[in-house]
Amino acid sequence: MPRPSRERWQRSFSEWFDWALMRAEIYDYGRYPVKGMGIWMPYGFQIRKRVFDIVRELLDSTGHEEVLFPLLIPEWMLAKEAEHVKGFENEVYWVTHGGLEPLDQKLALRPTSETPITYYESMWIQSYKQLPRKFYQVVSTFRYETKATRPLIRLREITSFKEAHTVHESFEDAERQVSEAIDLYRKIFERLGIPYLISRRPDWDKFAGALYTIAFDTIMPDGKILQIGTVHNLGQNFTKAFKFRIQGRDEYFDYPWQTSYGISDRVVAAVISMHGDDLGLVLPPEIAPVQAVIIPIPAKDPSVDPKIIDYAKDALRSLQESLFRVKLDDRPDVTPGEKYYYWDSRGVPVRVEIGRRELDSGTVTLVRRDTLERKTVRLQELPEEVRNLMSQIYDSLYRRSWEYLRQRVSRHASVEEASKALAERGGMVELPWCGKEECANKMAEALQAKVIGTPWPTEPAREGDRCPVCGSSAVTYLRLAKQY
Ligand SMILES: [Zn+2]
């Protein structure tokens, strides 16, 4: 059995992505009469829910508390932290009227929630004894994007923004929180089989109001980089702006320290993109709304068909009892071929085929979605075999996606070499760097790429490595890529 092709998936990824979202009924985009906004359809909603179940599970188990803040933020509140409001000034949607009445003050549709959350923390928290405190919410945020919008990748309504906000008594504890957040994000992406690179964003591209920003990026099938998560050490910038002070261990009052970190719909975009092929989605079993689909194959002699259906129902029961999410597709007017196409495009990990041959021999035929390999097993062994197959599918998706990423990251001594590598296979290149913004910009310009940042954890340059622009000794390596 040949492996399913990934030709179209990679060659014309952009069209593939739009096609796959519609074909599998994930997200209806482009028809809603407001730019940058789409509709999660039932099947897509189930995938999204399972992805964010993982996110919630990991946050809840590490002491994060889920909250829900209002969508509207008054202008004075958003403007409290000067750099923050400046960073978002081109992207905020404003509500200016209630009915026909102009409002006394403009209200922003939240682009992110550092300001209202800090405002409330300043009322809720008085002492170091109440710290650390970790909040999060999963909400819609709005950004008036001027770049071309893309379904799930660049939206004006981000429908699944998980934003976490934490408060700490010291800089050291905030630093520990940054590490915990990075660790959490690693676990989330590992469970979804999404490969990633962790970079520190350059100072001129950090989150507005942060001391620094750490970002997770993945490489999409077209070789472009997609940012899939960020972690910010906010220092005392917001607590100072809101005059939020706490009593410390030494009895004195001081401003506490904060971090914030977010992921969004892009995680769903990445999981769909990373594992797909020309037939459509290939889902990691943990987030598949349907993990196995049973398809009865009609016999030449129609009088046998009711027996085949009964036998398929036995298979259904045995999988349900083992707590798989399973579906029997016994639609009478649809051919098995059409059913294969339908469920394959939805990325169902395992197909169970049951026909006359299986009925007579007490077996079932299993087909795994990622390789389309077939295997016939005894009915009694069905749950165990499906469990094994799902774990093999996850392992193989994980390996394949990491291999894809690793093949597209390379380090070079000269801009020419880096340029060649980027042209050949996209992805990310690394060049020795002296640390000057000017040299970074020159490299970006020569490569027609964006500065992604420097490796995290920080990697000092090797003895003798020189900045290819100015020739001075490199301090670290600069990552560059074409980015979404
Ligand atoms: Zn330089």
DSSP string, 216-275: EEEE-TTS-EEEEEEEEEEETHHHHHTT--EE-TTS-EE--EEEEEEE-THHHHHHHHHH
What does DSSP say about strands 197-200 and 246-247: parallel, antiparallel, or unpaired? unpaired
Q: Give dist(CA 3, CA 479) in Å, integer.
A: 34
Cα-to-centroid distance, 385 and ligand 1 (Å): 57
Residues near 86 by beta carbon (within 8 Å), at least 6 away in sequence: 208
Go through the domains of the chain in sequence order and give each one's CATH number. 7-275 (3.30.930.10), 290-389 (3.40.50.800), 409-481 (3.30.110.30)
Cα-to-centroid distance, 439 and ligand 1 (Å): 5
Cα-to-centroid distance, 232 and ligand 1 (Å): 27
How far does CA 259 lie from the centroid of its chain?
A: 20
Cα-to-centroid distance, 197 and ligand 1 (Å): 24
Q: How many CB atoms lie within 10 A of CB 334?
A: 12
Cα-to-centroid distance, 231 and ligand 1 (Å): 27
Cα-to-centroid distance, 464 and ligand 1 (Å): 14
Cα-to-centroid distance, 451 and ligand 1 (Å): 14
DSSP code at position 208: T
Whether the bond between 102 and the residue before it is cis, its omega within 30 degrees of 0, is: no
Cα-to-centroid distance, 437 and ligand 1 (Å): 8
DSSP code at position 5: P
When computed from its CA atoms, the radius of gyration of the chain, rounded to whole angstroms, is 26
Please give the pLDDT value at position 133: 98
Percent helix, strand and coil across the chain, each to the nearest 5:
40, 30, 35
Cα-to-centroid distance, 204 and ligand 1 (Å): 16
Please give the pLDDT value at position 2: 61
Cα-to-centroid distance, 334 and ligand 1 (Å): 64
Are 401 and 274 spatial neighbours (Cβ–Cβ below 8 Å)? yes
Cα-to-centroid distance, 484 and ligand 1 (Å): 26
The β-bridge partners of 284 are none
pLDDT under 50 in the chain at which residues? none
Structure tokens at 281: 């989605």
Please give the pLDDT value at position 4: 85
DSSP letter for each residue of 300-368 = SSGGGHHHHHHHHHHHHHHHHHTT--EEE---TTS-HHHHHHHHHHTT-SEEEEE-HHHHHHTEEEEEE
Cα-to-centroid distance, 211 and ligand 1 (Å): 23
Cα-to-centroid distance, 264 and ligand 1 (Å): 35
Residue length, the chain? 484
Please give the pLDDT value at position 3: 72
Q: Give dist(CA 451, CA 454) in Å, integer.
A: 9
Please give the pLDDT value at position 449: 98
Cα-to-centroid distance, 432 and ligand 1 (Å): 9
- The CA-based diameter of the chain, rounded to the nearest angstrom, is 87
Cα-to-centroid distance, 481 and ligand 1 (Å): 18
Cα-to-centroid distance, 407 and ligand 1 (Å): 27
Q: Give dist(CA 396, CA 408) in Å, integer.
A: 19
Q: Give dist(CA 357, CA 367) in Å, integer.
A: 16
Q: How many CB atoms lie within 10 A of CB 368?
A: 19
Q: What is the pLDDT of residues 375-426, one digit of tens each?
A: 999 999 999 999 999 999 999 999 999 999 999 999 999 999 999 999 999 9
Cα end-to-end distance, the chain, whole Å = 36
Q: What is the pLDDT of residues 262-274, one digit of tens each?
A: 999 999 999 999 9
Q: Give dist(CA 52, CA 63) in Å, integer.
A: 17
Cα-to-centroid distance, 449 and ligand 1 (Å): 17
Q: Give dist(CA 156, CA 177) in Å, integer.
A: 29
Please give the pLDDT value at position 330: 96
